[in-house]
Homo-oligomer: A and B are copies of this chain.
Amino acid sequence: MNDNAWIRTVALKPPSLQDNTADADRLVEALKPELETSRIDIELSLLRQLPRLLRRWNYHVRCVSVRDAGRWRLLDVIGLSESRPIAGLAVDLGTSRVALRLIDLVDGKTLGEGAFDNPQLSVGADILARIHHCEGKGGLERLNRLIIDGINRHLAGLCRSVNLDPRDVFLIAAAGNTAMTHLLLGLNPRWIIREPYIPVVNRPGLLAAGDLGLEAHERARILVFPNIGSYFGGDLIAGILYAGMHAARETAILVDVGTNAEVVLGNANWLIACAGAAGPALEGGVTRMGMMAGPGVIDRVQIVSGDGRLRIHTIADQAPIGICGSGLIDLAAQLFLGGMVDIRGKLVPDACGHRLKQIDGIDNFVVVPASESAGGTDLAISQADLDSLIRSKAAMYTILETITSTVGVSLNGLDPFYVAGTFGSFIDPASAITIGMLPDLPLDRYRSIGNSSLGGAAMALTQADGLDRIDAIRQRITYLELNVNQDFMNRFSAAKFLPHTDLNRFASVKLAAG
């Protein structure tokens, strides 16, 4: 029966004629020194239950409270004999996938985890389509209901699976990009995408979960991660918290790659961030065979040296149906190392041999012949797909080069180099280096940290000063607007080669064709 950030056990002196302080005030006075605060609020709904609860448990109770800018809010009092967990819920509000993690607020342990496709996909695949949908009558309300209902449904299911009740969830922490955060809160995202790109709120803070329609404990609070602007959201701030960059002496870098490449560079003294369009090639959906990771999707590609045959790996080892970002990077790296793609990213007919096919007048490289694919048709990537990948990787590298040079840090000096996101966790850094997407660092400096947004949200659940830390991180970040000027274009042009025009930067990349 340990106490932690939010939980305190107090034994009150029962009322007497000598001390006839009211129930609520008696409890508050006993809690104040425990929570080291001068102010504790109790909501009316709890006040109404308090006399019964205190007497039922003989004035000896566990108090669940949350901290909000210096003052505390008492959420509930619970008998010592009650055995139900006091739970928290971390939410990563992805545009495509939403991830949930239930944790025990006492010991921070994970009680259960789950993820589901963002139900807003039914309205629009990308965030822009959803924002436009909000212009229509009832559009915002519809998108808001979809995400709230989705979380409620999956939270209920997750709770059931671990023998909990959603009412055991006292605190929720949610991190998402700025637009997703708006849709969660029912805030109009209209102005996010229009110059000068203004969110409704940067720091939503701690809200009543019930006000959002979330079904948890009746007085549950939700900590909504702040954003820095329309293009740098709470998911990134959660990532920084999770990676611990804001508290580290070394200068580290955190890269979250999706449709946007979001990059944070810094240490305990400073943090600089930028975001730029990295192109859609990395997320799947653009190459004809590209797709999100899932069963049957090719995520690893290797050329067996000697005969030039491809060894592919699919998720869940099922018959191949397409390729995801990490597979595409592997493939491009292998083709380049095997001489089947040249330094400009073009397919080399002689080297590709029978794997080269012309479709609609465009060169295609057959990754999986029709006979071996799940759908019975060739799985191929076209020269256009490769061009798109190369633009994406060039954008990524250029962003990294720009942000580091802006603060005078050498790309090669970065340690550690955090790669975040589901996608990041599948990338093979060696392949990414081979095509010049990531800098040529010793591989052990790359740390794949998975869903850092979810990780940061979970972390905030167990820290009494979580919101303060998060606000402090937010305050510390300098946001670098990426000006697409001549410098940027020059860097981008150089980065459009494999791995780069300046081969000295990629000494580890050994070309087969020399």
Contacts and interface: CB of A to CB of B under 8 A. Distances in A.
Interface of A: 15-17, 19-25, 39, 41-45, 47-48, 50-52, 69-71, 185-188, 190-191, 195-205, 207-208, 211-212, 227, 229-230
Contact of A188 (B51, B195, B203, B212): B51
B71 A202 contact: no
A20 B69 contact: no
A201 B71 contact: no
Contact of A25 (B195, B196, B201, B207): B201
30 contacts: A17-B195, A17-B197, A20-B198, A20-B229, A21-B198, A21-B202, A22-B199, A22-B202, A22-B229, A23-B198, A23-B200, A24-B200, A25-B201, A25-B202, A39-B70, A41-B205, A43-B211, A44-B185, A44-B207, A44-B212, A47-B187, A47-B200, A47-B201, A47-B204, A48-B186, A48-B187, A48-B188, A51-B188, A51-B191, A51-B198
Contact of A196 (B17, B44, B52, B71): B17
Contacts of A47: 185, 187, 200-201, 204
Contacts of A70: 39, 70
A480 to B, nearest CB: 14
A200 B44 contact: no
A16 B196 CA distance: 5
A425 to B, nearest CB: 31
B44 A186 contact: yes
A15 B50 contact: no
A229 B17 CA distance: 11
Nearest to A26: B198
A15 B198 contact: yes
A481 to B, nearest CB: 9
Given A17-B197, A22-B198, A22-B200, 18 more contacts: A15-B196, A15-B198, A16-B196, A17-B195, A17-B196, A19-B196, A22-B199, A23-B198, A23-B200, A24-B201, A39-B69, A39-B70, A41-B205, A44-B207, A44-B208, A47-B201, A48-B186, A51-B198
Contacts of A50: 200-201
Shortest Cβ-Cβ A-B pairs, 6 listed: A24-B201, A22-B199, A22-B202, A25-B202, A17-B196, A15-B198
Nearest to A198: B15
Contacts of A41: 205
A198 B195 CA distance: 59
Contacts of A187: 47-48, 51
Contacts of A44: 185-186, 207-208, 211-212
Contacts of A227: 22
Contacts of A51: 187-188, 190-191, 198, 200
A442 B24 CA distance: 45
A483 to B, nearest CB: 12
Nearest to A227: B22
A457 to B, nearest CB: 19
Contacts of A205: 41
Residue picked from A15, A47, A185, most chain B C-beta under 10 Å? A47
Contacts of A45: 211
Contacts of A22: 198-202, 227, 229
A45 B210 CA distance: 12
A256 B188 CA distance: 54
A50 B198 CA distance: 12
Residue picked from A44, A195, A207, A230, most chain B C-beta under 10 Å? A44
A323 B20 CA distance: 39
A41 B69 CA distance: 10
Contacts of A16: 196
A148 to B, nearest CB: 12
Residue picked from A41, A50, A196, most chain B C-beta under 10 Å? A196
A230 B199 contact: no
A279 B133 CA distance: 70
Nearest to A144: B48
B230 A20 contact: yes
A46 to B, nearest CB: 10
A185 to B, nearest CB: 6
B20 A197 contact: yes
Contacts of A195: 17
Nearest to A195: B17
